Amino acid sequence: MDNLTLIKVGGKIVEEEDDLNRFLADFSQIEGYKLLVHGGGRLATKVAKQLGIESRMIDGRRITDEETLKVVTMVYAGWVNKMIVAHLQALGINAVGLTGADMNVIRSVKRPVQTIDYGFVGDIEEVDADRLAMLLRQDIVPVMSPLTHDRQGNLLNTNADTIAAEVAKALSKKFDVMLIYCFEKSGVLRDEEDEKSVIPLIDRDMFMQYREQGVIQGGMIPKLENAFRAIDAGVKKIIITNSSDIQCNKGTVIQSCF
């Protein structure tokens, strides 16, 4: 099968113009088929504050009421997505910006209310790998924002790490997929204050041990959970790394076993 590099970029990389420009220049040089998933949560929080809308987070996950949904749609599918697409066009990459509603590529269901009502947040049920593969094989690079839909007319805020993992899993039936999560850190760190403390390889047993010890915590936990599910579903390789190292194979490699 052909190779596909699927990259998720988030954190402050999306907000800092110089960092984003460097990342997109590196991304444009990746050979073969490629797909980009982006976040933008920090910018959404900033814009919501400017509009007088309170941002509520629980365990790093945004509570998305109706007004917040409007903000994240404006930021994710609007400014951030189209800015990235425009930059890639300037680099000679024929990119197209998508939400899950476009071409019906990702369908979700509204997260059921249990102990917490997350509002208009989507849990992914289906990814249309055929349509994404059609774009890729026409040398079109999909740039996906973290929004999906429920086929009932509702957009749903959806975790970008989860979108990256679910899209990677679906496309692994058609490509040899390498999934790269990149942000401002060098990888999964033993010490958050020490960029040199990268854990180079991690399997599920190590992950469980590090989580119990508090070495891995916060947003890194769901990121790694998504990664292991993707590996189990056929994704060939997953790397968590700094946005400046996406072509160097540096960072933390996640695999099912050694």
Show the beta-strand stretches assigned E in the chain. Answer: 3-9, 33-38, 57-58, 61-62, 95-98, 106-110, 122-127, 141-144, 147-149, 155-157, 176-183, 201-202, 237-242, 252-254
69-118 pLDDT, tens per residue? 999 999 999 999 999 999 999 999 999 999 999 999 999 999 999 888 99
The separation between the first and the last C-alpha atoms of the chain, rounded to the nearest angstrom, is 23
10's CB contacts (< 8 A; 6+ apart) are 38, 39, 40, 41, 160, 161, 183
Query: Where does the pLDDT of residue 258 fall: very low under 50, low under 70, confident under 90, or very high at 90 and above?
Result: very low
173-211 pLDDT, tens per residue? 999 999 999 988 888 998 888 888 899 999 989 999 999
Residue with tokens 């509702």: 154
Is the whole-model pTM more than 0.85?
yes
45's CB contacts (< 8 A; 6+ apart) are 55
238's CB contacts (< 8 A; 6+ apart) are 178, 179, 180, 181, 227, 230, 231, 253, 254, 255
Q: How far apart are CA 244 and CA 182, in angstroms?
A: 8
Which two three-digit tokens encode residue 125? 């049920």
Q: Which domains does the chain have, with CATH numbers?
A: 3-254 (3.40.1160.10)
- Can you name the residues that pair with 156 across neighbouring β-strands? 148
Q: How far apart are CA 114 and CA 60, in angstroms?
A: 17
